[in-house]
Amino acid sequence: MKNKSLHTLDISNCKVESGECLEFFLQKLDKYSNIRYLVMDQILPDLSGSLEILGEALAENTKLEVLMMRENKLKWVPYANFWDNMKNNTSLQKINISKTDLSDRVLEKLSMYLLN
């Protein structure tokens, strides 16, 4: 992202029409992004299809400090893969995933991320 002054992005309660467009957008949150505070609460219809790509992008991001993904309906396989892909990210200081379902596999991958 070329905008150097933008540090907070809140796309909560947004309705996404195209999964491909969301994936393209989320890929831009990689190492070139200056976003420090990302809020993605209650994304409709379902964020699951783009979670793995988001995890790959955020793994390279060194500036993101806060990630909020509250109240999203997430399928457990992409959600577990998201945390697995995130394992190289060390910049996050706050994570809020309240009111999301956490399966055993998701908790295992989240625990592995937290141990890094």
Q: 3.30.420.40, 3.90.190.20, 3.80.10.10, 3.40.50.300: which CATH number matches 8-115?
A: 3.80.10.10
Structure tokens at 30: 């990689």
pLDDT in tens, 31-87: 999 999 999 999 987 888 899 999 999 999 999 999 999 999 899 999 999 999 999
Torsion angle in degrees (nearest 10) through CA of 64, 51, 73, 97:
-30
**Bridge partners for 38 per DSSP:** 9, 67
Domain boundaries, the chain: 8-115
Rounded Cα distance, 16 and 47, in Å: 9
Global pTM reads 0.90
Count CB atoms within 10 A of the CB of residue 57: 24
Q: What are phi and psi of 66, to 5 degrees?
A: -130, 130
